[in-house]
Amino acid sequence: MDTRRFIAPRSDSFVDWSDAYARVESYFFALRIQNRLLLSQLVALVLSRASKRLTADANLRPTVAAMEEANRVVEDWFEDVLEAAGVDTSEVASRGRLALFLADLPTRWQNEFLQAGPWPSAFLSAIRSSYLRTGPEFRKTSMTPRDIDLGPVSAVAGETWRVIDRWPIIGALLVWASYIGVIGLILYLLH
């Protein structure tokens, strides 16, 4: 990657550019990029691309444009790496990031992150194997609710409530008697 120098344009949105810088930096921190020099170069690359977009569309905020560019840069890089590794690039957004962590790229090949190819063969084979391990293809399914059988206790309790519903006065007397009995037992045990 060539070194690019990004200087925020002089405008009222200087605070927005500071926020954009902080968010893009946090995004790369989340991807475990720890090298400060590499991190500042990557953030400058993303912010310069966002600045070019903002000249074309003045309605965008710097933070939004910067994060969109950060995602675009990372996804484009994943697609390039996975094509070089000989892997189908479907669902590159989620599976690529997972492959990045499974291949331990932040520790072993941090200097290859967002760099143009050619990449080392060990790096490509690690990305290929970790990308293929990211899991099966997910399919949407539907769950239908089923009655839950809670066993004989729930059957007895259900029958008791049905009896109480049929004879409300007797049911109320039973409920109050059991309530007073429990209170009496507690008071007896405490003294």
Per residue in 125-157, pLDDT (tens digit) is: 777 777 665 555 666 778 888 887 778 888 888
Residue 143: inside a domain: no
Query: Per-residue pLDDT for 8 more than 60?
Result: no
Same structural domain, 52 and 112: yes
Q: CA 36 to CA 184: how far, in whole Å?
A: 71
- Contacts by 16-19 with C-beta closer than 8 Å and gap 24+? 16/61, 16/62, 16/63, 17/47, 17/62, 19/62, 19/63
Contact 95, 131 (CB under 8 A): yes
What is the number of domains present in the chain?
Answer: 2
Query: Per-residue pLDDT for 3 more than 50?
Result: no
Residue 2: inside a domain: no
pTM here is 0.57
Query: Per-residue pLDDT for 1 more than 50?
Result: no
Residue type, 179: Y
Residue 185: inside a domain: yes
Residue 30: inside a domain: yes
Same structural domain, 45 and 82: yes
Print the domain residue range for 51: 14-132
Same structural domain, 32 and 77: yes
Same structural domain, 33 and 99: yes
Same structural domain, 183 and 128: no
Same structural domain, 21 and 63: yes
Q: CA 147 to CA 156: how far, in whole Å?
A: 17
Residue 85: inside a domain: yes
Residue 9: inside a domain: no
Same structural domain, 52 and 98: yes
Residue 5: inside a domain: no
Least confident span in 4-8, 76-80, 97-101, 114-118: 4-8
Higher model confidence: residue 188 or residue 74? 188
Residue 24: inside a domain: yes
Give the model's confidence band at 188: pLDDT under 50 very low, under 70 low, under 90 confident, else very high: very high
Q: CA 43 to CA 40: how far, in whole Å?
A: 5
